């Protein structure tokens, strides 16, 4: 948010706003400062737009799509005065967010960028030469309305498991017999993962040694792990969420992949993670018996169970930006090229179904049709995970969002 001026302040409840719902707040005018700064009119604007940039052959190509552009005139001299005993006049406002707009989003690098920006702007108009208008800006977090995802949140514990798995043949060095590593990732069998919900995950690791005679098995050192050893602690596993962003500007398109959330392993603090770990004793399984010497394999297992809460912008597609996600799990094993990796594309939805509250007759409004009888106000969820640049109303991404009118 840009800092308040001496004459203008903006009060908006800190929350995630839902497409199809309302943005509401109050503009606070300090009448003493208003007169000193010669402000003759105050209006508030609600703006939303999509910006993309792609650098190609030393030139920057940009696209902009306007999503919403609404304004309300709040005050002019003689229109209203503060209550007796105070210099502060409070002016409420309300805007309706359009349906089917993309969520707030921000990605930027030196050669490409993709942003979906929403903001409120309060303008104090100062007529006359060299009298610059006073401006106050506050970015907003917006997500799509998602009745289907809201039902998924409520029924998360009543569904089965979806499984991604990979089995690899691995060995210690360049020669020797192969062992087997089998990794499974289980999570709720639902079409999409909703935000701000505890989502359980189970990681099963099963390893099987190359066939051994019983004598060879008994000769293995007790104080050394048997190859291939499954992870003994969850910090040895890398489990993360990746985002793939496809960006278009003019006729050029680029793609970017980045890590946006870490669940286990790298970039986490193991002591702060709630992970249930099960390491059953190794099991000898006979694979050959009878006339010759008995042969078998050691089977070793590890199981890790945890829950994660997603707070990233939901999956979305608009003409110039495509935002996709994938779960990425890597279980390391000794030896070159022996890590086992699973990548599973997932759809992330907001899981928020929060129509606006009932409209007050005394509150100015823009494009606000009557609400259905079933409308309700949900408790505000935690904040959306957006980079600091999104909240910096003075950054260059926001530079011209309000200058065209």
Does an H or E element contain 153, and which?
Answer: helix 147-154
* DSSP one-letter code for 273: -
Among 235, 206, 228, CA closest to 338: 228
* Residue 141 · residue 104 · CB < 8 Å: yes
Report the sign of the C-alpha dihedral through residues 151, 156, 157, 163, in that order: positive
Enumerate residues 6+ apart whose C-beta is below 8 A from 27: 8, 9, 10, 11, 42, 44, 74, 90, 91, 93, 122
**Any idea what the Cα angle at residue 229 is, between residues 177 and 201, rounded to 5°?**
125
Position 400 scores a pLDDT of 59
d(CA 305, CA 378): 30
The pTM score is 0.88
Q: Can you list the domains of the chain with their CATH numbers?
A: 8-145+353-398 (2.60.40.640), 149-349 (2.60.40.640)
Biggest CA-to-CA distance, the chain:
107
Encode the chain (405 residues) as per-residue pLDDT tens digits.
Answer: 666 678 999 999 888 999 999 999 999 999 999 989 999 999 999 999 999 999 999 999 999 999 999 999 999 998 999 999 999 999 999 999 999 999 999 999 999 999 999 999 999 999 987 788 999 999 999 999 999 999 998 888 788 999 999 999 999 888 889 999 999 999 999 999 999 999 999 999 999 999 999 889 988 888 889 999 999 999 999 999 999 999 999 999 999 999 999 999 999 998 889 999 999 999 999 987 766 788 999 999 999 999 999 999 999 999 999 999 999 999 999 999 999 999 999 999 999 986 433 334 444 444 444 444 433 344 444 689 999 999 987 776 666 555 544
Give kind and range of the element (H or E) at residue 212. Answer: strand 212-213
- Per-residue pLDDT at 353: 86
3-state secondary structure of 35: helix
Neighbours of 62 (CB within 10 A): 12
Q: Residue 300: exposed, middle, or buried by beta-carbon count in 10 A (0-12, 13-18, 19+)?
A: buried
Residue with tokens 């703006």: 47
């Amino acid at each position: 948010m840009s800092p308040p001026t001496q004459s203008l302040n903006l009060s908006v409840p800190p929350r995630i706003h839902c497409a199809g719902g309302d943005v509401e707040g109050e503009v606070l005018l300090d009448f003493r400062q208003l007169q000193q700064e010669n402000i003759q009119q105050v209006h508030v604007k609600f703006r939303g737009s999509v910006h993309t940039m792609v650098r190609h052959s030393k030139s920057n190509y940009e696209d902009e799509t306007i999503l919403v552009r609404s304004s309300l005139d709040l005050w002019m001299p003689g229109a209203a005065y503060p209550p007796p005993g105070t210099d502060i006049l409070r002016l409420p406002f309300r805007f309706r967010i359009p349906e089917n707009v993309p969520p707030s989003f921000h990605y930027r690098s030196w050669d490409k960028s993709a942003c979906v920006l929403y903001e409120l702007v309060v303008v104090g108009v100062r007529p006359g030469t060299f009298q610059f208008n006073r401006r106050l800006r506050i970015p907003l977090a917006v997500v799509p309305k998602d009745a289907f995802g809201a039902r998924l949140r409520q029924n998360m514990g009543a569904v089965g498991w979806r499984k991604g798995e990979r089995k690899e043949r691995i060995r210690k060095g360049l020669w020797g017999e192969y062992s087997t590593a089998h990794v499974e990732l289980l999570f709720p069998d639902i079409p999409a993962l909703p935000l701000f919900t505890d989502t359980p995950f189970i990681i099963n690791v099963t390893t099987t040694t190359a066939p051994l005679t019983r004598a060879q098995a008994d000769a293995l050192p007790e104080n050394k792990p048997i190859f291939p050893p499954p992870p003994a602690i969850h910090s040895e596993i890398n489990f993360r969420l990746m985002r793939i962003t496809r960006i278009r500007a003019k006729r050029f398109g680029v793609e970017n992949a980045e890590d946006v959330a870490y669940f286990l392993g790298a970039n986490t603090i193991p002591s702060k993670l709630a992970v249930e770990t099960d390491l059953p004793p190794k099991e000898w399984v006979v694979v050959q018996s009878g006339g010759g010497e008995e042969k078998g394999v050691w089977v070793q297992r590890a199981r890790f169970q945890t829950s994660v809460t997603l707070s990233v912008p939901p999956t979305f597609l608009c003409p110039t930006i495509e935002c996709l996600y994938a779960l990425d799990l890597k279980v390391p094993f000794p030896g070159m090229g022996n890590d086992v990796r699973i990548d599973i594309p997932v759809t992330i939805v907001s899981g928020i179904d929060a129509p606006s509250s009932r409209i007050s007759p005394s509150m100015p409004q823009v494009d606000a049709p009557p609400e259905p009888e079933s409308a309700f106000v949900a408790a505000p969820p935690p904040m959306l995970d957006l980079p600091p640049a999104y909240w910096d109303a003075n950054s260059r991404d926001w530079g011209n969002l309000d200058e065209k009118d």
